[in-house]
Structure 1
Amino acid sequence: MSKKEKASKVEDLSSRRFQQMADENRELKVYVADVMQRLRQNERLFSRMFDLESQVLKSTDPEDLCFTLLRGLRSSFELDFVRFWLDRSSFIGGHKLGSLSERDLVWVEKDEIREMGISRKQAWLIQLSPEHAFDWLGSQDQHLGSIALLTLGDLDRPFGVLGVGSIDRDRFAPDQSSDFLQHLAQVVGLTLEHAVAREHLARLSVTDTLTGSQNRRFLQPHSHHPLSQWFGNVTQVSCLYADVDQFKGLSERLGEEVGDNVLNMVSKALHKHVRSSDPLIRMGGDEFVLLLPGCGEEKARDIAALTIQAIAESGVVEGEQITASVGVAFSSANRDLAVKELIALADQAMYVAKALGGNRFEVADSGEDSGH
């Protein structure tokens, strides 16, 4: 091979090497650009996630938290579908979450999440088609192209599933990374568990452990405020103040356990003819306050009479007839008393009923003999 041919061959090899390096450089630039784009996308995603987490942490209860998550996920992440499936038998099953529609929340039965196989991992990415559907979706969800299913709670004992979806079939394709979605599943699961625990502790702090009614601590934030601030400007409020007749002597003679049983019976009698949302407060000892927003005078009198009757008809406890004295007071929109003022009026009427022999109710400021 001549020198000229050798030089030509070297030049050709160098040219091809430079071309190869140029190609590799272009590929590297494309790769770096793609990585940088993904980093910027992830940065935006986590920035939105941080903002959403901040909003979630401000939520006051599980219902508010779920609503915040649903609204935030739809708006911040441009999702066409967001829905909770929650296990009715789990710790969250005791929360009605009434502000969430069927579009937002579906209750599932015990072990249904496990039977669907969803609890095997934290996040599932599914492309949807007529041949590959998801059983929990309805006819109103046929527009979806892909969904991600996020398992909430411990995989051994999941309490729910969060579904997020898009009309884009590639948005949650199985080959996509699920790191962000797994993080989202953990955040949502933990915040919901903590919200339920906080609400439970808050409820315990204002609940009478013996009777299940509210206690004085429940009343304290409202006590000095006008009734309209609690129940609304145009709402008439009635109040019953109940006290068990001769309770101290009965408890001393028959023992604390019998006394506790009597208090539980009286609490149930007070609840019997009213709405579950009407505040019943054990003021201490054997005294109870029942607040009845939107209840007129005639209806309040009927409830007082029925309560007296229910307590008396509860029977004899170890030879002792159980009775109670009840005071009734009213406040209307044109007489907007403070909460504590209305309670004080009913308390005074209760003492009148007790002085007249008990087992009866009296109405405050009636101006006439209204004993029954």
Structure 2
Amino acid sequence: MLNRVQHNSLTLKRLQSFEMRLLGLNSLAEMIEFILGQTPALFDLDVVSLCLIDPKNEIADYLDSDNYGFRNREGLFLVNSELQVRNSFVLSSQPFLGSYQTAVCEQFFSESSLQKPASVVIAPLIRRDKYLGSLNLGSYRTDRFIQGMATDFVEHIASVIGICLENNLNVETMRRTSLVDPLTGVNNRRFLEQRIEEELDRSQRDREPLSCLFLDIDFFKRINDGFGHQAGDHVLTLVAGAIKKQLRNNDVMARYGGEEFVALLSQSDQRSAAEIAERIRVSIANLGIEHADQSIPVTISIGAATYQPNRSLKKRVPDIALQLIQAADTALYEAKRNGRNRVEHGGLVLALEPAQA
């Protein structure tokens, strides 16, 4: 009897610790990583997975924007239909509990695992009568989760996770709305202004170069005047998508204004930046854009600049950010002056000398 009391007391402390840490996390990516990484040890489980319903790929976009490698994260599943989760529960809000049944459980546990759990709990994550996903717990012991066992503990955890998930999704939606250009779907200038200093900080810490591309669609006013503003919007959207396709997941891209875009290329020196810029230029020239049965030729001019950290000089990040953008912008004007549909590099931006008192 004493052992049971001590066990329950320890479980309660673990649950309280779990809740406090979960509620203190600041992003969706952090929440997912905490659940998948910490839950097994906290509650003596062999397998933990998380299934999230993502019909519009919004969760995938949020995680991509945080550079979280969710596609390769063991135990995380994104599904595009609520029915894929809802149909697994006989009673809409009650967890599935008992021995591992392939027909019910295989979509909630990794196929790559060498050993399947012997007993499982699959608990729905529900908020305001809406399915958000499921929390899936597994044990190699057949007697860990058996039918008829009380599920209050698991339902409480699922409820807390559901609340945190809803809150994080709301925050991510608001953040995306305020930092994403609604026409092209890429980040806006405000986002760039926040991220460039973060990228420069990282560049300085790692002693790795950071390159900036300033991109401008050639003769865009002619497109609007000759084909109409709807055609112009169509061109902007396709060009933004083509640029993004040539960038890596950890690169930063933003619509700077009008027909201008900026890309920050982490760990990219002058040569690498020139190669990426040229790939972008070629891909835009080969787009073959059509609108209302009309072919619209589109090219782009690109200016590049590269920041190279200097160990011996003090770094003033805001000044360097401004200098890097200006150097890339100057190179862009050089590309325009030299005939357009070309790439020009503005050279290296070095750390500035410390300001004199």
**Same fold, judged at TM 0.5 (above):** yes
Measured after TM superposition, the shift of residue 175 of structure 1 is 3.7
In the alignment, the residues of structure 2 paired with residue 303 and residue 320 of structure 1 have an alpha-carbon distance, to the nearest angstrom, of 24
The equivalent residue for 2:21 is 55
Q: CA deviation at 1:217?
A: 1.2
- Partner SS for 1:74: helix
Quote the offset at 1:126 in angstroms: 1.8
> Is 1:178–2:151 an aligned residue pair?
yes
Matched residue, 1:198: 171
What CA deviation, in whole Å up to 9, does each residue of 1:104-139 have, x standing for no partner? 3356674443444455442233257xx999753677
State how 1:232-271 maps to structure 2 within 5 Å: 233-248=206-221, 250-251=223-224, 254-271=227-244
Which stretch has the larger CA shift, 64-73 or 84-93?
84-93
Q: 263, 282, 287: which is aligned to 1:290?
A: 263
Check 1:56–1:323 CA distance in 2 against 1; reply closer, same or farther (3 A cut).
same
CA distance in 1, matches of 2:50, 2:181: 33
RMSD: 4.0
* 1:77 maps to 2:59: no
Cα offset, 1:61, TM superposition: 2.6
The answer on 1:124 being equivalent to 2:106 is no
* Equivalent-residue separation in structure 1 for 2:158 and 2:195 (angstroms): 38
What runs of 5+ residues in structure 1 fail to find an aligned partner?
Answer: 1-32, 367-372
Q: Is structure 2 residue 300 aligned with structure 1 residue 324?
A: yes
Question: Please, which moves more after superposition, 112-121 or 184-193?
Answer: 112-121
d(CA) in 2 for partners of 1:103, 1:304: 34
**Contact conserved, 1:228 with 1:333, CA < 8 A, in 2?**
no
The structural deviation recorded for 1:102 is 6.4
Residues 221-236 of structure 1 correspond to what in structure 2 (within 5 A)? 221-224=194-197, 227-229=200-202, 233-236=206-209
Q: Which residue of 1 aligns with 2:351?
A: none
Q: Distance in 2 between matches of 1:289 and 1:102?
A: 30
Contact 1:308 1:323 in 2 (8 A): yes
* Kept after mapping to 2: 8 A contact 1:147/1:165: yes
Cα offset, 1:46, TM superposition: 4.2
- Which is worse superposed, 322-331 or 88-97? 88-97
SS in 2 for 1:364: strand
For 1:217-247, what per-residue CA distance to the aligned partner results, in whole angstroms no more than 9, with x for missing partners? 1122244567252585232232221223343
Deviations 1:171-204 (A, max 9, x none): 4343432222222222222322332332232223
3-state DSSP of counterpart to 1:54: helix
Correspondence 1:268-287 to 2 at 5 A? 268-287=241-260
Alignment equivalent of 2:331, drawn from 316, 338, 349: 349
How many residue pairs get aligned? The number is 329
* Residue type of the alignment partner of 1:66: I
For structure 2, the residue ranges without an aligned partner over 5 or more in a row are: 349-357
- Whether the 8 Å CA contact 2:288–2:295 is kept in 1: the answer is no
Tell me by how many angstroms 1:166 deviates. Answer: 4.4
Asked if 1 retains the 8 angstrom alpha-carbon contact of 2:46 and 2:117, the reply is no
Tell me how far 1:328 sits from its aligned partner.
1.8
The CA deviation string for residues 263-289 of structure 1, in whole angstroms up to 9 with x for no partner, is 223323433433244212111112111
Matched-pair contact (CA < 8 Å) for 2:89–2:96: no
* CA distance, structure 1, for counterparts of residue 27 and residue 37 of structure 2: 16
Choose 279-288 or 158-167, whichever is displaced more.
Answer: 158-167
Q: Residues 365, 82 of structure 1: CA spacing in aligned structure 2 closer, same or farther, 3 A cutoff?
A: closer
Q: What does the per-residue CA deviation read over 1:34-63, in whole Å, with 9 as the maximum and x for residues that have no partner?
A: 9xx76x866654443232222112223333
State the partner residue of 1:14.
none
Q: Distance in 2 between matches of 1:280 and 1:172?
A: 48
Query: Aligned pair in 2 of structure 1 residues 230, 153: CA closer, same or farther (>3 Å)?
Result: farther
Partner AA of 1:324 in structure 2: I
Larger radius of gyration: 1
- Report the secondary structure of 2:124's partner residue: strand
Q: Secondary structure at the residue paired with 1:220?
A: helix
2:75 maps to 1:104:
yes
Distance 1:118 1:342, change over 3 A: farther
Distance change >3 Å, CA 258–CA 47, structure 1 → 2: same
Q: Which string of whole-angstrom CA distances, capped at 9 and with x for unpartnered residues, describes residues 351-370 of structure 1?
A: 1222334333322149xxxx
TM-score by length of 2: 0.73
SS of residue matched to 1:160: strand
2:354 corresponds to which residue?
A: none
**Aligned-pair identity (%):** 30
